[in-house]
Amino acid sequence: MDEDVEERRLDETANSELSSTETVDPNLHPVDMPRIRVIATELQEPNIWLIRSVAAMLGMEAVETIFQRTQTIEAAGGMMTKQGDRRRTSGGVFFLLAREQMTARQRRKVFGLPPNPLNIKKQPKSAAPSTQSTLPKPPASPKAQPPTLEQAVALLRATLNIDPQKRGIAVMKTTIIGRPKQIKKLDTCTLVVLGQKAPPTMPKGLPPVPDTSKAAIAVFVANKQWEKVEAALKEDPTDEAIIEGYPVNDPKNQLTGVWAQSCTSKNLQRAKRAAQTKSE
């Protein structure tokens, strides 16, 4: 959606008439409009109605997860457009992540059909016979194939041979959402251990994702941060922790260590948002 920002239109009047919690269709999810407006403000995205449509299709919880991922991407330097000529807006990143969460049918309902890039007009029929039909068609170009998993692993290993001075420098953060079962309390911090779910459907053209069924995530969280989250998890067996931090990978043993910078839970976030909305 970021590339079509010039074509967007904001219907502020319609948005202002919406109730604080609504459902556009009985088959869709209820929408928390005050929270939608806060997210739109944080993203500096004028298309409030489109964020509302995403929430109605995927649910507010999915929107919150997408919003958190968007903020993480923005904090790490943002995301370039498909052409690579500029950085996406925050709203553009949000809508791209939302599209990845949807089925093709859901994308059509929320974003509509993609525009025809060719815009070819039908040519009038000519009485004169055409010679093009008698010419042999050129051979079709072979369809490009993404790298295999073996090729991807070989490419990753090859990057280790690049001179560190020529790699460039970046900051990488990761977000972990889950409910840990293995917890070890230390003097000043807590070690939280989780397994890793299979990733969602990835964009076309990428190599297959390696099997993560045996992968482990070990997170070091400061005790002061973990105490509130631990209490929230004990209070609600459906609550999940949300941790952001800096990862260190050990691919040989399928282990990722994370040094947590922030730690909360879904229920704690909801309570914080409710307090903010009430104060506003």
pLDDT of residue 8: 41
pLDDT, the chain, mean: 79
- Give the CATH number of the domain where residue 177 resides: 2.40.50.140
Does 230 map to a domain? yes
pLDDT tens digits, residue range 5-47? Answer: 433 433 333 333 344 454 445 568 899 999 999 999 999 999 8
Does 56 map to a domain? yes
Q: Is the dihedral of CA 97, 100, 103, 107 positive or negative?
A: positive
* 65/171 Cα distance (integer angstroms): 21
pLDDT of residue 165: 77
pLDDT of residue 64: 94
Judged against a pLDDT cut of 60, whether residue 252 lies above it is answered with yes
pLDDT band at residue 148 under the 50/70/90 scheme:
confident
Does 182 map to a domain? yes
Number of compact structural domains in the chain:
2
Mean pLDDT throughout 182-191?
91
End-to-end CA distance of the chain: 30
pLDDT of residue 25: 57
pLDDT tens digits, residue range 115-126? Answer: 555 544 554 555
**Same domain? 6 vs 106:** yes
Does 138 map to a domain? no
Does 219 map to a domain? yes
Q: Domain residues for 34?
A: 2-111
**Same domain? 20 vs 104:** yes
pLDDT of residue 114: 62
Does 154 map to a domain? no
Does 135 map to a domain? no
- Give the CATH number of the domain where residue 106 resides: 1.10.10.1440
Mean pLDDT throughout 39-67?
93
* Cα–Cα separations (whole angstroms), residue 233 to 98, 115, 225, 240, 273: 27, 46, 13, 7, 18
**Same domain? 104 vs 9:** yes
Query: Which domain-ending residue is among 67, 94, 111?
Result: 111
Strands 174-178 and 255-265: unpaired
pLDDT band at residue 131 under the 50/70/90 scheme:
very low
Percent over 70 (pLDDT), the chain? 79
